Structure 1
């Protein structure tokens, strides 16, 4: 019994000593870990190696996620709000995810995401380059044979307009016979259409300085047109997409674009019976043609994205312009008091190529019609896919 009593007392005495030892060991471990941490601040958690038993346990506890993925997730979470880190040489590394795509490694203050078509000097102070900052842009797709018609048209546009000529016949230097041509911008690519040019040279970020963009054909008579007055009416009536009224004597396809002599602007019309499914839809409303279209800056940003890269004639585009403004029947219209004449010069057809016994213009016209159908099919397919993805019934249809 004496031995048992002695043994019992010894066990009781050892327990406080073991507790103290555990506390001391823990403190030493913490201090040691801290010293290691400050000595190696750049050690990556993804480079650490753990015993296989620990790895297996972690994987089991996280439903099959790999240890590497878990460690990467933890590391990413810890650095989620950091835009700056250190390179291996200790210098600050820039990464700004809110910058435009591709410019994330630049300091925001140096990023210039937009441009313009202003001509600049090769000398002097850049701040003094522009005697006037033009507010509007007008483009014509031209051949040299129509130079006198274009000369008359350009003179209807004030100094507030940047003039841009797209040359489909490759002839540019001859235009210097006109004084204004020396201040214009010339882009040349043989046998291309204005929508081919527009898709490649009129990106919205390039045109961000312009309030309105005129994209016009070369065969327009402008005797009764003044560009500044036209802009005033567009602003007054809230038109985002517009065109001048057409003189009805010739070159008229749609009743919507026919000039009304008793008003400034009209936004709807009556077409042939059965041509309009709704008084608010093309061609009875929300509709202008593509020969002399005028876009606001915001509307053009949408329309540019809708132009197909491989469909160059633009047929069918006029029926889809309404998708870029809302409500379209209020913001698309025809300006009657500033009107033009469509001279119907078949210059683009002569740029085609005779194939299979067909005249050049016949091949061009056939492609125009085919592109119209292709564009309609693409638009319908894209919208159908969108509604299906969203799980909703497309407008004007019933669920099947």
Structure 2
């Protein structure tokens, strides 16, 4: 009998200890719901500047999550879901959303609110190669400190530009053998450049001796131009009469082209037209134009004839600024980035693709508008420059 009793007592002690341990663990868990992380993965590395420990940050996040979870019932009622938020952000509280950005450079240290000594009001981009370095240096100096400077490099050479002081403050984006419209479609989304009132998207071969950017913007505002360009010196690189500088005025919005070229004085190329060489867009106009740029058509030919789709009335809001004028130097630098084939110079293949893209773009635009009118049951307008 003594042997039986001695064997039962230890078993009873074990059972009682186990029960007590389970109950104690349960009550501790209920009392401290935020202790969710094993001590082995908590790092107590402390930020000496802020005094906030990693543990404190994790506990803050854990507390927030636990409180939110406590508000949910079995079918998930209480979760954030806001259909009016931007696509993909429906589960975020509206107060945290920042749908727009900018190209302002920021520090890696200090208070974020003190990063910017000046918030640039305008943006200018040049698509450049190393051979035009001196010309771009001259051009950039025509733009005040109110401008963010962006260089799109089509030859992959970026470090050589650091000899210029302004280059150290500029944004450099490099992709070999790409055009400015390829860069613009990928890096100038309207939500990225929303802080800028005007966006200059310029070629590299422009002479700017008679140009001042701040004076140009004053005239753009004065005449209500949403899409514009400087007048071109008629002695070099002139393709259209509309872009020819008129020396007797500040701005012009219409002109006379060759006979038979303009079926309507308010339509391109006699009005509502600027070239893709040195265009300037208001923030609102660029939001529309960016969406019209085709992802696979990189040269932009034909785009200038369609810019009028983005402003209304186009013949009043598109114009050429004559008193701030430039010279087109006609340097085929990007054209020479093409590939020589069948004994032909590299620029020949580039020019052929330009013409091909023009036809493709015009066909796409016409087809898209026709499909829209058919869907809406509307007779298409009589517009031969659709």
Q: TM-score range by the shorter chain?
A: 0.7 to 0.9
1:360-371 pair list within 5 angstroms: 360-371=346-357
1:9-88 pair list within 5 angstroms: 86-88=72-74
Counterpart residue number, 1:297: 283
| TM-score, length of structure 1 as denominator length | 0.77
Match of 1:141 among 127, 131, 135: 127
Residue 354 of structure 1, CA deviation:
1.3
Tell me if the contact between 1:311 and 1:371 (Cα under 8 Å) persists in the aligned partners: yes
CA distance in 2, matches of 1:323, 1:86: 49
Residue 92 of structure 1 aligns to a residue whose secondary structure is coil
User: Bigger shift: 187-196 or 348-357?
Assistant: 348-357
Match of 1:117 among 95, 98, 103: 103
Counterpart residue number, 2:63: none
Counterpart residue number, 1:194: 180
Counterpart residue number, 1:383: 369
4+ aligned runs moved over 4 Å, structure 1: none
Residue 92 of structure 1, CA deviation:
3.5
Residue 355 of structure 1, CA deviation:
1.9
Residue 238 of structure 1, CA deviation:
0.1
Residue 292 of structure 1 aligns to a residue whose secondary structure is coil
Tell me the alpha carbon deviations over residues 220-273 of structure 1, each in whole angstroms, 9 at most, x when there is no partner: 000000000000000000000000000000100111000011100000000000
> Is 1:203 matched up with 2:211?
no
The structure whose Rg is larger is 1
Residue 91 of structure 1, CA deviation:
8.1
Tell me if the contact between 1:158 and 1:227 (Cα under 8 Å) persists in the aligned partners: yes
> Is 1:342 matched up with 2:295?
no
Tell me the alpha carbon deviations over residues 32-78 of structure 1, each in whole angstroms, 9 at most, x when there is no partner: xxxxxxxxxxxxxxxxxxxxxxxxxxxxxxxxxxxxxxxxxxxxxxx
Please, which runs of 5 or more residues in structure 2 have no aligned partner? Answer: 1-70
Tell me the alpha carbon deviations over residues 176-219 of structure 1, each in whole angstroms, 9 at most, x when there is no partner: 00000000000000000000000000000001000000000000
CA distance in 2, matches of 1:305, 1:100: 17
Counterpart residue number, 1:283: 269
CA RMSD of aligned residues (A): 1.4
CA distance in 2, matches of 1:225, 1:241: 17
Residue 229 of structure 2 aligns to a residue whose secondary structure is strand
Residue 357 of structure 1, CA deviation:
2.9
Counterpart residue number, 2:65: none
Residue 86 of structure 1, CA deviation:
2.9
Counterpart residue number, 2:341: 355
Counterpart residue number, 1:156: 142
Counterpart residue number, 2:11: none
CA distance in 2, matches of 1:112, 1:183: 25
